[in-house]
């Protein structure tokens, strides 16, 4: 599985460190909230809401430049919308990598 | 151009706002984390351009567009790389951006929005013309067993989607026709008909009463979807 990195964030910020820091700060704040929301809806077996949470997390996965992680999220989101989620563990692994990475920033 | 940003994600709003600051052609006048707040703002203010997230909880970007009588130019933002074709059904949509949005692609979208202003800045005339055309007729012909049957608009109570068919309930009779809600909606006068749920279009003037999430028409209780409820409430002549 691909590891998260800051390449995309640096590309988007165009080298402007203030902008880069602003993005990282928001990710640090939003990511745990989004993951918590995802777990809560998954636990309640509300697959449509969970699919919405996965959809929202896709942006964070993309911005941390996890190409395979993004594909995992797409597959999982589709499974959830169909009411047959089977990739929860794979997706959880993507989330864990993101959390570890973001906590080190 | 002045613009607003509607996105439930702070990160997405931050990226668009920062990109806007790098462009001399666009200025952010407000940001919203949900569509309802944006609707309230737009009731009081005019903007040239909206950056609109498609996937938001409760009220999607497309639901939002449908509440606007004369929508400004809209640039959609989405996390989907395989983007829904639905976007191209709306004339106001100038472009769409896949998140995370890079600056070069953002500037290209702004350029498109400006060209759009130069070439098609008067959407009001065609919209009015369409409405006038719809108001001209008082009836609709449906094809049943090779017969064209006339139905007066005023006699229609409800139209319900049923797979590849629609069920038209009138005051006298019900008709099942091979068509879609979208197709029949285009033929109906907006002043009388309203979609209140993905499976139901109702004759607005036939409502008996409205409860929290349903309307009563004749003997039928029709559900109101959460996203369509604001449109319905806006149409009511409330005391």
CATH of the domain at B97: 3.40.50.2300
> Do both B37 and B117 map to the same domain?
yes
A window 44-103, beta carbon within 8 A of B? 49, 52, 55-56, 58-60, 62-63
pLDDT at B36: 87
pLDDT at B235: 80
Domain boundary among B121, B155, B173: B121
**Low-confidence residues of chain A: pLDDT under 50:** none
Nearest by CB to B57, which of A23, A52, A63? A52
User: CB–CB of B102 and A60 under 8 A?
Assistant: no
> Do both B84 and B39 map to the same domain?
yes
CATH of the domain at B225: 2.40.50.1020
- Selected from 1.25.40, 2.115.10, 1.20.120, 2.60.120, the CATH number assigned to the domain covering A7-104 reads 1.20.120
Q: Are B216 and B208 in contact (CB under 8 A)?
A: yes
pLDDT tens track, chain B, 239 positions: 999 999 999 999 999 999 999 988 899 999 999 988 898 899 889 999 999 998 887 778 888 888 887 889 999 998 876 665 566 667 888 888 999 999 999 999 999 998 876 555 444 333 333 443 444 578 888 877 667 888 999 999 999 998 878 899 998 888 888 888 888 988 898 888 999 998 999 998 899 988 878 899 988 899 998 888 888 887 887 77
Q: Are B53 and B7 in contact (CB under 8 A)?
A: yes
> Do both B158 and B112 map to the same domain?
no
Closest C-alpha to A25, from A14, A37, A13, A41? A13
Please give the tally of structural domains in chain B: 2
Which run of H or of E encompasses B130?
A: helix B124-136
Q: Are B200 and B223 in contact (CB under 8 A)?
A: yes
> Do both B85 and B137 map to the same domain?
no
Query: Residue A94, class by beta-carbon neighbours within 10 Å (0-12 exposed, 13-18 middle, 19+ buried)?
Result: buried
Is B126 among the domain residues?
no
pLDDT at B178: 84
> Do both B138 and B97 map to the same domain?
no
> Do both B8 and B117 map to the same domain?
yes
Min Cα–Cα distance to chain B from A26, Å:
6
> Do both B96 and B176 map to the same domain?
no
Question: Residues of chain B whose C-beta is under 8 A from some C-beta in A?
Answer: 8-12, 14-15, 18, 22, 55, 57, 79-80, 99-103
> Do both B110 and B141 map to the same domain?
no
> Do both B109 and B189 map to the same domain?
no
Residue B173, domain extent:
132-235
Domain-wise residue ranges, chain A: 7-104
Closest C-alpha to A81, from A51, A37, A59? A51
> Do both B193 and B110 map to the same domain?
no
């Amino acid at each position: 599985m691909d590891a998260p990195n800051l390449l995309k964030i640096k590309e988007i910020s165009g080298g402007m460190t203030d902008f880069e820091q602003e993005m990282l700060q928001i990710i640090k704040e939003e990511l745990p909230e989004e993951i918590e929301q995802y777990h809560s809806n998954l636990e309640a077996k509300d697959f449509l809401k969970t699919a919405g949470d996965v959809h929202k997390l896709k942006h964070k996965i993309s911005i941390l430049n996890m190409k395979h992680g993004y594909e995992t999220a797409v597959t999982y989101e589709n499974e959830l919308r169909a009411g047959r989620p089977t990739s929860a563990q794979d997706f959880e692994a993507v989330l864990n990598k993101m959390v570890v990475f973001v906590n080190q920033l | 151009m002045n613009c607003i940003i509607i996105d439930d994600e702070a990160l997405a709003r931050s990226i668009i706002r920062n990109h806007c600051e790098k462009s001399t052609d666009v200025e952010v006048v407000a940001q919203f984390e949900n569509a309802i707040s944006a609707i309230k703002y737009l009731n009081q203010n005019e903007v040239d351009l909206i950056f609109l997230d498609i996937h938001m909880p409760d009220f999607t970007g497309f639901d939002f567009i449908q509440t606007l009588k004369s929508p400004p130019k809209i640039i959609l933002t989405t996390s989907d790389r395989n983007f829904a074709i639905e976007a191209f059904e709306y004339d106001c949509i100038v472009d769409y951006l896949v998140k995370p949005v890079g600056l070069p692609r953002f500037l290209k979208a702004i350029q498109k929005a400006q060209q759009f202003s130069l070439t098609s800045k008067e959407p009001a005339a065609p919209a009015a013309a369409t409405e006038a055309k719809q108001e001209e007729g008082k009836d609709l012909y449906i094809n049943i067993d090779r017969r064209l049957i006339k139905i007066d608009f005023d006699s229609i109570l409800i139209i319900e989607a049923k797979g590849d068919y629609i069920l038209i309930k009138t005051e006298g009779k019900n008709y099942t026709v091979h068509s879609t809600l979208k197709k029949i909606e285009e033929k109906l006068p907006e002043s009388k008909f309203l979609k209140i749920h993905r499976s139901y279009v109702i004759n607005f003037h036939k409502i008996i009463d409205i409860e929290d999430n349903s309307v009563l028409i004749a003997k039928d209780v029709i559900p109101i979807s959460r996203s369509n409820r604001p449109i319905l409430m806006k149409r009511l002549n409330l005391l």
